A and B are shown apart, each in its own frame.
Chain A
């Protein structure tokens, strides 16, 4: 059947750049849809220029909410992007080669999450031009120092891990030097996977540790093992549990949007199984931590759970985080019947991703919202439009990079055989 746009003139034919054996939409449509991420990036640019030129008074943050939506988004995307290091770890180091068809996608998503987070953090600090002080005048006792070092170096590792996919582009790989370089990179990728695993383990933990060490903030404060608060371990566990879910979910969304099968369902099921069992382990520890915090830690500070969950940050947040978006997806994903169903597995993975985002939200916002001094006031916080603009960077940047990568790079090696 002829379609109305088949008669339109072809302005550019980029099919020679597409991955071998795949089909992509016409360039005009692609350019049209690029408008979505570009609009988001324009929104980000307006917010960024205002914040850099006029200061952080453009936000709704204040001396009570020292952190806002940017830190929530940062923590969430870094947690969700953990699929990159954990899938690489399982594939290259543990030897779970069944995950190979999805490793490229995981690395790409991780790259987007980390680079997006770093760019946002550049706006978030009051003196962006002094960002390097964290490296030069590093305070080795600070969890944030570790985060700064690790996310920066891990973003470099991710770039290197992503590079073979770029060099494997049909046109680029025709250049013999690039082809050789790419082949050599493939052979030593295990080194970068190991480096990424080491770095990522630590900064996922440090992000949690950042809150657990706030010993004068009872909502966040947790005891721990040596210098590491329990949140250090809980953040690692939650990230490796939900990272594979997020990667799989993005692949599933891409499949639905493009109408093409990208990975076999058994690969997705394996990712779901890994996610499910790790989520069960995480939920056991998280539930124990919550009980200990509620019955031992808080009363020792003279506080109760009721004081921790005040409107609008009420108990519903706890039940949604631990129940609806914690135990429920964990118990769903460990069942093969659920994983076999495309729709139910997606629902379970989505719930798990919402759960980890809520966890990062409460640790950032609720920790600060609750007054510690008995005579202090309770304040609520809503981000300004400029803050949302900067937060939309991750989405805009992510969509742009993912769209370009999907169109031109061999991210999904199973795609040609699945769409014959």
Chain B
């Protein structure tokens, strides 16, 4: 996925579409943002300057579907679709004691199995992007609304963790259709709900390694970046911005005048 932050207006349509597509409930108190569930959260950032130099940007943040493991460029088998090249190691997957989350080597999607989750929240602690959400409450579905839920996504129960799945149910349905047609899953056959809902076309979705897909071309732009690249989580969500201050906001940089620390930082910045 590639998100052009210069096109994002922060309207939140992606979040709403995500909630609707994935049967995310609305709690009694949605102002408690550190306990409510928003698979795709939109952050607002600014350049820290006073008016009239103030600039604002919005960062939609789905699950990054980290691969972890080896760093490198897309051309260097960064996202291996041929399994067994190198074991994927997302921060959240290996920690789960009950194998309730997994890394799909074929699609690169980090899955979540709510019915197997024991609710230990170790994966929530492991994720630096805060992309994982725990169900602190029972969802108070208003009378009649369950009939309007999507039949392709199971609503989650209290006490389990959930997260963005890149609308995996859409991939399953596209795969089934391709199987019946005897074709392959095309770029437009599988698009996430947030991609479709974005009114300014800021979100592009596809296979990063497929040269025919638009995202493959986009990630070679000099303006693309990912969040917290230094931690070597290898996210599959790329961002684009021509504004340098926005790109700088994506990671941490040693600013203290410390020769030793700066030298180490340069050595540690692999990507």
Contact = CB atoms under 8 A, between A and B. Distances in A.
Contacts of B121: 61, 66-67, 126
Nearest to A146: B97
A215 B231 contact: yes
A418 interface: no
Nearest to B138: A55
Contact of A304 (B68, B96, B117, B258): B258
B59 to A, nearest CB: 7
Interface string A80-120: 00000000000000000000000000000000000000000
A142 B231 contact: no
Nearest to A149: B97
Contacts of B252: 301-303, 307, 372, 374
Contacts of A379: 34
Interface residues of A, number: 54
A234 B126 CA distance: 20
Interface in A369-411: 372-376, 379
B159 A145 contact: no
A127 B129 CA distance: 24
Interface residues of B, number: 64
Interface string B202-241: 0000000000000000000000000110111100000000
B130 interface: yes
Interface in B129-155: 129-130, 132-138
Interface string A30-41: 000000000000
Interface of A: 55-57, 61-64, 66-67, 124-127, 130-131, 133-134, 136-139, 141-145, 147-148, 210, 213-218, 295-296, 298-304, 306-307, 367-368, 372-376, 379
Given A144-B97, A145-B97, A373-B129, A62 B260 contact: no
Contact of A56 (B130, B159, B267): B159
A127 B228 CA distance: 32
B99 interface: yes
A210 B232 CA distance: 19
B254 A217 contact: no
A303 B138 CA distance: 38
Contact of A217 (B128, B227, B230): B128
A216 B128 contact: yes
B32 to A, nearest CB: 8
Interface in B85-104: 91, 94-100
A379 B35 CA distance: 13
B134 A142 contact: no
B119 interface: yes
B184 interface: no
Contacts of A67: 121, 125
B95 A57 contact: no
Contact of B118 (A126, A295, A300): A126
Contacts of B232: 215
Contacts of B228: 216, 372-373
Contacts of B43: 375
Contact of B45 (A55, A64, A217, A375): A375
B11 interface: no
Interface in B31-66: 34-35, 43, 45, 59, 66
Nearest to A368: B125
B234 to A, nearest CB: 11
Contact of A301 (B96, B100, B268): B268
B249 A374 contact: yes
B251 interface: yes
B264 A300 contact: yes
Contact of A64 (B34, B91, B117, B233): B34
A144 B122 contact: yes
Given A126-B121, A300-B265, A373 B227 contact: yes
Contact of B269 (A62, A133, A300): A300
Contacts of B125: 66-67, 214, 217, 367-368
B254 A144 contact: no
A137 B97 CA distance: 8
A364 to B, nearest CB: 9
Contacts of B91: 214-217
A152 B261 CA distance: 43
Given A55-B138, A216-B231, A138 B249 contact: no
Contacts of A141: 94
Contacts of B94: 139, 141-142, 213
Contact of A302 (B124, B138, B265): B265
Given A141-B94, A142-B96, A304 B128 contact: no
A217 B230 CA distance: 12
Contacts of A130: 98, 116-119
B1 interface: no
